[in-house]
């Protein structure tokens, strides 16, 4: 029973240490993952800033191209209006030329029809005086010259208008081509902008994903730190319990020497009051000898433990009353378990407990479950256990003989009353066997 609880305490302490270490290792591992995520986040954030800057540049270029295109379109509209006006002017001029030409031709035909009247000579001859002749001659010449000048000027204006219209048309075509080029470049920039927007959105999604993963890792780290802190607290409490148990054990050991003397004195007092009668076997055994032997054995059971004829072990106390046997049983207090590794013997507080067989004391100490206890290793490989003593009456490492007093009955440790827990095993705290048959019960 004590072995099981000792193993449980040891296992629990080991688990707490392992869990605390595991929690620390897990937190450190999560820190590395968080650092990696921070690097990813920083890179993605830099990529996002770069993408945003490029988007801003593209928007600025698109805006500039749009402005330039609008300006060109405005110029184109103005030139087209000028060209249209020139077309109208040319048409009007052509009509005027056509009318003047018709009038000149009409004058020419009139001159030919009325040649005698219109002839320059006739004009001179018809003059009333020389000055009148000169005036008429000058007027006639001016008229003819003016008509010719008007026709030539109109033709010149028409040619200039046509040339100007052609230049305007060329400029309109150039502006149209440039506007088309700007539109094509603007379309390319719009496509580049769409691709850049998609890239920025993809980066943003990756950035959000990395931040989410980081948040999860931070939460995992917090949980791991919480678990590690709780394990550390439990470990600290376990260490405090172990320290307290060791302090109790040290205190018990400190009292051991003083208690041993008292127990031994009590044992001597009890032994002196007991009647021990042992007979030597006769050389010719018979019925009478068997009877005497039986009588002696009965007397010894009441006054002093006797060795078992088959095992070599003797009873640790006389007048044995078993209160709990070996094996399965109900848990008496909720801590002992349902399996009993030995047998419990009733008695009185301080009653001497004797070694069941000669051997070496391998353990004499205190345990929260077994209380003050003594374990003896025997020459045949067996171990005997004496638990819940009021105080150990012998030191570890001591050599004892069968019947030597090793302590007094008590109720220390996990006990519900004064009794002796007696056990036998094939190994230290392992291989427990029913001790009843070993001591002739």
Of 421, 407, 426, the C-alpha closest to 341 is 421
Sign of the torsion formed by the C-alpha atoms of 192, 194, 195 and 199? positive
- pLDDT given at position 285: 33
Q: pLDDT higher for 290 or 389?
A: 389
List domains and CATH numbers for the chain: 30-218 (1.10.287), 321-330+337-438 (2.70.70.10)
Whole-number Å distance between alpha carbons of 395 and 383: 16
Whole-number Å distance between alpha carbons of 57 and 190: 12
- pLDDT given at position 7: 52
Whole-number Å distance between alpha carbons of 315 and 169: 135
Measured between alpha carbons, how far is residue 274 from residues 119, 271, 349, 409, 426 in Å? 196, 5, 18, 18, 33
| Residue environment code for 271-294, b if the CB has 16+ CB neighbours within 10 A, otherwise e | eeeeeeeeeeeeeeeeeeeeeeee
Q: What is the CA radius of gyration of the chain?
A: 65
Q: 333 falls in which pLDDT band (50, 70, 90)?
A: low
SS3 for 319? coil
Q: For residue 438, what is the DSSP state?
A: G
Of 166, 121, 158, the C-alpha closest to 140 is 121
Asked if 308 contacts 438 with a C-beta cutoff of 8 angstroms, the reply is: yes
Whole-number Å distance between alpha carbons of 340 and 323: 12
pLDDT in tens, 406-441: 999 999 999 989 999 999 999 999 999 999 999 998
Which range has highest mean pLDDT (15-24, 54-63, 286-295)?
Answer: 54-63
Asked if 379 contacts 358 with a C-beta cutoff of 8 angstroms, the reply is: yes
- pLDDT given at position 155: 83
SS3 for 11? helix
pLDDT in tens, 275-324: 333 333 333 333 333 333 333 333 333 334 444 436 799 999 999 999 99
Asked if 257 contacts 393 with a C-beta cutoff of 8 angstroms, the reply is: no
| Residue environment code for 22-53, b if the CB has 16+ CB neighbours within 10 A, otherwise e | ebeebbeebeebbeebeebbeebeebbeebee
Whole-number Å distance between alpha carbons of 288 and 87: 166
Burial, 158: exposed, middle or buried (Cβ in 10 Å; 0-12, 13-18, 19+)? middle
SS3 for 423? strand
Q: pLDDT higher for 310 or 65?
A: 65
Whole-number Å distance between alpha carbons of 228 and 19: 7
Query: Could you give the residue ranges of the DSSP H alpha helices within 280-408?
Result: 287-303
Whole-number Å distance between alpha carbons of 212 and 164: 70
Q: pLDDT higher for 185 or 28?
A: 185
Q: Among 7-16, 236-245, 378-387, 397-406, where is mean pLDDT lowest? A: 7-16
Asked if 415 contacts 427 with a C-beta cutoff of 8 angstroms, the reply is: no
Q: Show Cβ contacts of residue 371 under 8 Å, excluding neighbours closer than 6 positions.
A: 387, 388, 389, 410, 411, 412, 413, 414, 415
Helix axes 130-273, 2-113, angle to 10 degrees: 180
Percent of the chain, pLDDT > 90? 41
- pLDDT given at position 195: 95
Tell me the DSSP string of 91-136: HHHHHHHHHHHHHHHHHHHHHHHTHHHHSHHHHHHT-SSHHHHHHH
Q: Among 9-18, 382-391, 407-416, where is mean pLDDT lowest? A: 9-18
Whole-number Å distance between alpha carbons of 83 and 155: 19
Whole-number Å distance between alpha carbons of 349 and 389: 9
Looking at the DSSP bridge assignments, the partners of residue 353 are 407
Is the pLDDT confidence value at 247 over 90? no
């Amino acid at each position: 029973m004590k072995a099981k609880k000792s193993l449980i305490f040891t296992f629990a302490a080991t688990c707490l240490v392992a869990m605390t270490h595991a929690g620390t290792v897990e937190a450190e591992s999560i820190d590395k993952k968080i650092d990696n995520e921070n690097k990813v986040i920083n890179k993605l954030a830099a990529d996002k800033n770069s993408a945003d800057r490029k988007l801003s540049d593209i928007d600025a270029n698109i805006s500039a191209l749009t402005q330039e295109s609008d300006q060109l379109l405005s110029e184109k509209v103005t030139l087209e209006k000028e060209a249209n006006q020139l077309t109208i002017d040319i048409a009007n001029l052509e009509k005027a030329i056509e009318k003047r030409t018709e009038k000149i031709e009409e004058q020419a035909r009139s001159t030919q029809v009325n040649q005698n009247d219109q002839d320059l000579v006739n004009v001179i001859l018809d003059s009333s005086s020389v000055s009148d002749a000169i005036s008429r001659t000058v007027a006639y010449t001016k008229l003819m010259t003016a008509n010719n000048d008007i026709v030539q000027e109109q033709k010149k204006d028409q040619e200039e208008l046509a040339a100007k219209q052609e230049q305007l048309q060329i400029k309109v075509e150039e502006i149209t081509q440039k506007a088309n080029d700007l539109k094509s470049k603007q379309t390319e920039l719009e496509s580049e902008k769409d691709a850049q927007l998609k890239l920025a959105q993809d980066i943003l999604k990756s950035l959000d994903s990395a931040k989410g993963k980081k948040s999860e890792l931070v939460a995992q780290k917090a949980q791991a730190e919480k678990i590690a802190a709780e394990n550390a607290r439990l470990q600290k409490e376990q260490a405090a319990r172990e320290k307290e148990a060791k302090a109790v054990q040290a205190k018990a050991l400190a009292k051991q020497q003083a208690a041993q003397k008292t127990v031994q004195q009590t044992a001597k007092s009890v032994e002196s009051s007991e009647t021990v009668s042992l007979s030597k076997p006769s050389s010719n055994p018979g019925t009478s000898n068997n009877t005497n032997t039986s009588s002696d054995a009965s007397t010894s059971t009441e006054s002093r433990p006797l060795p078992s004829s088959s095992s070599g072990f003797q009873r640790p106390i006389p007048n044995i009353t078993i209160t709990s046997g070996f094996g399965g049983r109900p848990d008496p207090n909720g801590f002992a378990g349902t399996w009993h590794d030995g047998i419990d013997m009733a008695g009185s507080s301080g009653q001497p407990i004797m070694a069941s067989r000669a051997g070496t004391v391998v353990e004499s100490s205190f345990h929260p479950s077994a209380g003050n206890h003594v374990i003896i290793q025997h020459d045949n490989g067996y171990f005997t256990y004496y638990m819940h003593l009021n105080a150990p009456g012998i030191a570890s490492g001591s050599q004892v003989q069968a019947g030597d007093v090793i302590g007094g009955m008590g109720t220390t440790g996990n006990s519900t009353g004064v009794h002796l827990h007696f056990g036998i095993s094939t190994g230290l705290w392992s291989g427990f066997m029913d001790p009843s048959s070993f001591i002739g019960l």
